[in-house]
Amino acid sequence: MKDYNVKRYQESDYESWNTFVSHAKNATFLFHRDFIEYHKDRFEDFSIMIFEGEKLVAILPVNRAGETVYSHQGLTYGGLVYGESLKLASVIAVFKAILFYLWENKITKIQIKTFPSIYHNKPAEELSYALFLADARLIRRDTLAVIDLSKPFQFSILRKRGVQKAIGNGLVIKEENNFEPFWNQILIPNLQLRHNAEPVHTLAEIQLLKKRFDKNIRQFNVYFNNEIVAGTTIFESENVAHCQYISKYEENENLGSLDFLYDHLIKNVFAHKRFFDFGISNESNGKILNNGLSYWKESFGANTIVHDFYEVDTVHFSKLENVLK
């Protein structure tokens, strides 16, 4: 195996990190330092850069808590990021170097959330094999509801009826840069009422991210008689339109707002994408499925892919020493 050098990310690495992300075969704007660091006060960043000589060959966005490091807990997905030139045997060697580095630094475990395949620019599941070799434990599995827009798909009769109802009600869809109406009038009240929860992003944070990633973060709202009744926040990457937030408020009347909105987004705004990702419908680390929510997403023609989370003992670097024949 080749020898790789591992080092912690420093502020002086800002440009080289971001340049690497822009050329990787399995990265999106979430791995840009401006995204990772918008909530840096919440996490102890422990991001890692891996070099072959002077050449940067991989990065791993992680944060530390005690004796464990995590695929950055402020990101939806994670894992090892690398370029097309890094082949399977090299990824195994890189992961061994990472485990050894963490073990030397008194970190006993690493939890890795994988990078769902729909976000890959090219196939990039080498790390999954390395995790298997290192006896990684599967600790969580979520289900993503995804439409492959390159293949035929079908809305259910209920969704089609909802679209027609919305048209009859004269609903209007607007893409807007102001997140305040959706956050304060729809999203926050609904999350508090139904789940006693708050959005992952505060209004100030999502506005900041919009400024930093204007083309990637988009807000679509639905209006009835000039009053906002629904909306969704989309995180757009090269291959995927991902629904970060979905919410509606229609008092006691179903206006068909979300059916109308997603019909427009799927068939018009993001029809050129490869995938439309409604996100997860899971709770309790994947052990509970919100069947109603999952069925609603499937009724747009979505199917399931999984998003896996693993835990590895760093001392298992030794298990990667004699795996090549």
pLDDT tens-digit series, residues 86-100: 999 999 999 999 999
Phi, psi dihedrals of residue 94, rounded to the nearest 5°: -60, -45
The Cα 167–Cα 280 span in angstroms is 28
Q: Please tell me if the domain spanning 5-141+308-320 has the same topology as the one spanning 151-273.
A: yes
Is residue 283 within a helix (H) or strand (E), and if so which, with residue range? strand 282-283
Contact call for residues 78 and 113 (beta carbons, < 8 A): yes
Query: How close are the terminal C-alpha atoms of the chain, in Å?
Result: 11
What's the distance, CA 148 to chain centroid?
17
Residue 175 bridge partners (DSSP): 220
| Residue-wise pLDDT tens digits, 75-85 | 999 999 999 99
Q: Are 243 and 279 in contact (CB under 8 A)?
A: yes
Q: Residue 176: is it exposed, middle or buried by C-beta count within 10 angstroms (0-12/13-18/19+)?
A: middle
Query: How do residues 117-146 score in pLDDT, each as one tens digit?
Result: 999 999 999 999 999 999 999 999 999 999
pLDDT at 251: 66
Q: Name the 3-class secondary structure at 160.
A: helix
Ordered by start, the domain boundaries in the chain are: 5-141+308-320, 151-273
Q: 5-141+308-320 belongs to which CATH class?
A: alpha beta
CA gap 289, 218 in Å, rounded: 28
pLDDT computed for residue 259 by the predictor: 97
| pLDDT of 276 higher than 80 | yes
Helices (H), the chain: 14-23, 33-36, 88-104, 126-133, 157-168, 180-181, 188-195, 203-212, 257-264, 291-298
Fold of the domain built from segment(s) 151-273: Aminopeptidase (3.40.630)
For residue 177, pLDDT over 60 is answered with yes
Q: Has residue 158 got a pLDDT over 60?
A: yes
Look up residue 258 and give its two tokens. 């979300």
pTM score of the predicted model: 0.94
Q: Please say if the pLDDT value at position 74 is more than 70.
A: yes
pLDDT digits (tens, 9 = 90+) for 209-256: 999 999 999 999 999 999 999 999 999 999 999 999 999 986 656 899
Distance CA 312, CA 266 (A): 38
CB 62 within 8 A of CB 70: yes
Give the model's pLDDT for residue 1.
Answer: 58
